[in-house]
Amino acid sequence: MMEVFRRWVKVSVGISLLVGASLTLAGPAESGQFYERHGVAIDGFDPVAYFEDHKAVKGLPSLSHVYKGSTFLFASPAHLAVFVQTPERFTPQFGGFCAYGVAEGVKAAIAGDIWEVVEGKLYLNHDSMVQAKWKTGRSALLRAAQAKWPEVESSADVYP
């Protein structure tokens, strides 16, 4: 009986360590002030494209710019040049974290192709289901996110 218990404990601890390690490795890096994964901000999407092209466009590693410690990628030299002149116009709200998540009081990962520009500001969300909830209650959720962001911003935890 004791041997079964010991084996169970070893297996449980092993699984916990594996899960913890995989979450740590898969989680977004936070070297700069914006949501990053694989060393680039906002999943490598071009922040200017949301405004200029009205769609999510992946940027190119050869067209990059570091802003507030985060590396942004761009789809064209023109987008890069515009961003360098006025980066605050194009950077996402809430550090590029999921806007709905911030309204709920947490930092959450985003999908760069789940987005919305409202009154000249870029909001990113986790997935299409979260985006639908965001759009349904946008006004109240935006107020909640703005109120909670100062506290959420200081959190080190990011939900994948």
- For the segment 124-148, what is each residue's pLDDT rounded down to a tens digit? 999 999 999 999 999 999 999 999 9
Q: What percent of the chain has pLDDT over 90?
A: 76
**Full domain range(s) for residue 143:** 92-153
How far apart are the C-alpha atoms of 153 and 121, rounded to whole Å? 18
Q: Are residues 115 and 147 both part of a single domain? A: yes
Structure confidence at residue 14 (pLDDT): 41
Give the global pTM.
0.80
How far apart are the C-alpha atoms of 56 and 70, rounded to whole Å? 19
**Residue 15 counted as domain residue:** no
Q: Are residues 96 and 149 both part of a single domain? A: yes
Q: Are residues 138 and 102 both part of a single domain? A: yes
Number of domains observed in the structure of the chain: 2
- Confidence at 66, pLDDT banded by 50, 70, 90: very high
Q: Are residues 99 and 82 both part of a single domain? A: no
Q: Tens digit of pLDDT for each residue in 30-53?
A: 468 999 999 999 999 999 999 999
